[in-house]
Amino acid sequence: MLPIQGLIDFHCHLDLYPDHAAAIHEAEAAGVFTLAVTTTPKAWPRNHELTRKTKHVRAALGLHPQLVSSRAAEIALWESLLPQTRFVGEVGLDAGPRFYKSLDAQKAVFTQVLKACAAAGGKIISVHSVRTATAVLDHIEEHLPPGSNRVILHWFNGSKSEAARAIEMGCYFSVNSNMLKSERATALIKTLPFSRLLTETDGPFTETAGRQSKPTDVAETVQLLAELHNTPVSTLIKKMNQNLRELLEQSR
């Protein structure tokens, strides 16, 4: 059985589990560094309250692109809350069939997010980029000048050339077990430098053993990554923690 202590779940929606407080407590007790992303700024106060005294769980301030069609006006609230946190997410763009109609509004919101982060500095941003990798990278390049902010591309599904561009721009990637069970995604992940990788679950939107994934289930991702790179699990865990430390230090 894989060790749990020292694992990283850099993208998980803890407030969407049946018992939000219990989900945070379980991640905290297990010692899994968990980035609890949010989908709307209205969820921030409760997430912040439950995580502000935890050692391993951090809340991120988000405005999910899939919700922009009905919640674009909440960007003003999002901007007012930004000074309270260094973690931002989930934000980004989604051009999937259900959300393509709101893409222009999404781009406007994402632009405001990036400009606010650029002005503030020191933010760590978990970014959604479904069918929009090039557009997301264009926005980051235009509105988030190189500096103390850091971007993590969550569940990245772009091309190898788009990934290479993201690497050149300094982006990180958070990967989950679903990606590592896809031939196409696995081939892409193999091209990513170890120094830019973090692990995630994206729970509860993924499953482990027939139930909603939780932060401790990131152990499965670690196992699959270790097998992919023919690397001992202990070595991979150490490397992920080194990446996290460097990410946190770079964004100060």
In angstroms, the CA 60 to CA 127 distance is: 11
How many helices (DSSP H) and strands (DSSP E) are in the chain? 10, 10
Known binding residue 11? Answer is: yes
Known binding residue 229? Answer is: no
Known binding residue 202? Answer is: yes
Q: What is the DSSP letter of 217?
A: G
Strand bridging mode 197-199 / 172-175: parallel
Helix or strand (DSSP H, E) at 208 = strand 207-208
- 3-class SS of residue 47: helix
State the first-to-last Cα distance of the chain, in angstroms, to the nearest integer: 36
Known binding residue 154? Answer is: yes
Known binding residue 128? Answer is: yes
Q: Which of 7, 225, 251 is nearest to 125 (CA)?
A: 251
Strand stretches in 22-139, DSSP E = 33-36, 57-59, 87-94, 124-130
In angstroms, the CA 201 to CA 180 distance is: 12
Residue 10 Cα distances to 119, 175, 197, 245, angstroms: 24, 9, 10, 13
Known binding residue 20? Answer is: no
Q: Which of 157, 64, 75 is nearest to 116 (CA)?
A: 75
* Residues flagged as binding site for a divalent metal cation: 11, 13, 90, 128, 154, 202
* Residues flagged as binding site: 11, 13, 90, 128, 154, 202
